[in-house]
């Protein structure tokens, strides 16, 4: 097969952010936690794309949007190896891999329904026990929240 036929054609963005190397199964979760389903500008995404490094991956391109550190922390919980690429005037101006912080505050709800953070005006706070498989220990009730049962605020 002709190599030019096999290339994926996705339009470049003039200004904005590309989130690359998202696990294929996490693309829609990243879209939800960043509220991109409610974003007014162009959002392009692909999932189950071939990746030599990860097997299958996803990618999201967001026009005219640059993410704050809190958003990068959210991305790191859903996609710990995601790459954030900022684009200005069609050129890459920065490229970095997200890093899961040691502590998470106010991003995720505690899995324990009896936790004080689910009943009072107390912001949830977690120590990150495992950055690869994402395991969070609640500062207040000490219950463990894992990636599969994480609920983002």
Q: Is 50 or 84 the better-scoring residue by pLDDT?
A: 84
% of the chain at pLDDT higher than 70: 93
Mean pLDDT of all residues in the chain?
A: 89
Residue 11 buriedness (CB in 10 A; 0-12 / 13-18 / 19+): exposed
Give the per-residue pLDDT at 1: 47
pLDDT-derived band at 18, boundaries 50, 70, 90:
very high
Q: How confident is the model over 24-39, as a mean pLDDT?
A: 91
**The pLDDT of residue 9:** 52
Flag whether pLDDT at 87 surpasses 60.
yes
Three-class SS state of 42: coil
Q: How far apart are CA 104 and CA 123, in angstroms?
A: 10
**β pairing state of 103-105 and 55-63:** unpaired
CA distances from 54 to 23, 50, 59, 79, 117 (A): 8, 8, 13, 12, 36
As a whole number of angstroms, the distance between CA 79 and CA 58 comes to: 10
Ordered by start, the domain boundaries in the chain are 13-97, 103-152
Query: Is residue 134 scored above 60 in pLDDT?
Result: yes
Beta bridge partners of 21: none
- At 104, is the secondary structure helix, strand, or coil? strand
**Distance, CA of 109 to chain centre:** 16
Q: Is the pLDDT score of 4 beyond 80? A: no
Residue 8's pLDDT is 52
Buried-exposed string 105-115: b where 16+ CB fall within 10 A, e elsewhere: eebbbbbbeeb
| CATH architecture for the domain at 103-152 | Roll (2.30)
The reported pLDDT for the residue numbered 10 is 61
3-state class of 140 per DSSP?
coil
For residue 130, pLDDT beyond 60: yes
For residue 30, give both structure tokens: 């990243």
Report d(CA 77, CA 152) in Å as an integer: 10
CATH architecture of the region 13-97: 2-Layer Sandwich (3.30)
pLDDT digits (tens, 9 = 90+) for 32-68: 889 999 999 999 999 998 888 778 999 999 999 999 9
Predicted TM-score (pTM) of the model is: 0.82
Position 3 pLDDT exceeds 70? no
> 123 and 105 in contact (C-beta within 8 Å)?
yes
């Amino acid at each position: 097969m002709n190599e030019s036929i096999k290339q994926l054609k996705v339009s470049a963005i003039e200004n904005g952010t590309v989130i690359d190397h998202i696990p294929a199964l996490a693309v829609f979760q990243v879209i939800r936690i960043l509220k991109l389903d409610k974003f007014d500008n162009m959002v392009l995404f692909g999932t189950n794309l071939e990746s030599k490094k990860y097997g299958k991956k996803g990618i999201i391109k967001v026009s005219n949007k640059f993410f704050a550190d809190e958003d990068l922390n959210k991305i790191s919980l859903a996609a710990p190896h995601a790459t954030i690429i900022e684009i200005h005037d069609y050129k890459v101006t920065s490229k970095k891999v997200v890093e899961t912080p040691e502590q998470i505050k106010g991003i995720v709800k505690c899995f324990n329904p009896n936790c004080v953070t689910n009943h009072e005006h107390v912001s949830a706070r977690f120590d990150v026990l495992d950055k690869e498989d994402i395991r969070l220990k609640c500062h207040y009730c000490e219950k463990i929240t894992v990636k599969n049962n994480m609920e983002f605020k």
